[in-house]
Amino acid sequence: MIKSAILAGVLMGALLATEVLAAESACLTRNRLVSSRAVGGDTIEMTDRQMNRFIVRTQACPNLDFTNATVIVGRSWNNLSCLNSSVTLNVSAPGRGVRACRVVSVEAANPAPPAG
């Protein structure tokens, strides 16, 4: 009983520490993604469940020039991993087909104000 309580406490602590570390950098996980929209030739704006916005830059991706482009998340981005440069997103645009676009960087669009 006591061992279970200690184990549960350690696991909860690890989860909370992970969330704090993730909050310090721009970490968008697939399971928290709510929406995305094309902003320009190499930029996608993504929003998570907490309404945090992220700016995702890709290598040149012609389909992102269309405002009605749709971002299709593929298998290269796992649910609990942060979106990073190892991920390729597919972007489709009407009449243009689907293009694979490799992520270059992910930045928080609305950083927290400095403490003080």
Q: Are 25 and 81 in contact (CB under 8 A)?
A: no
pLDDT digits (tens, 9 = 90+) for 88-112: 999 999 888 999 999 999 999 865 5
Q: In the chain, what are the domain boundaries? A: 28-108
What gap in Å lies between CA 111 and CA 116, rounded to an integer? 15
Mean pLDDT of 37-43: 89
Residue 54 burial (10 A CB sphere; 0-12, 13-18, 19+): buried
pLDDT at 22 exceeding the cut of 50:
no
What phi and psi, each to the nearest 5 degrees, are found at residue 100? -85, 130
> How confident is the model over 31-40, as a mean pLDDT?
91
Residues 6+ apart with CB under 8 A from 98: 63, 72, 90, 91, 92
Q: Are 36 and 67 in contact (CB under 8 A)?
A: no
pLDDT band at 2 (very low <50, low <70, confident <90, very high): confident
Write down the pTM of the prediction: 0.70
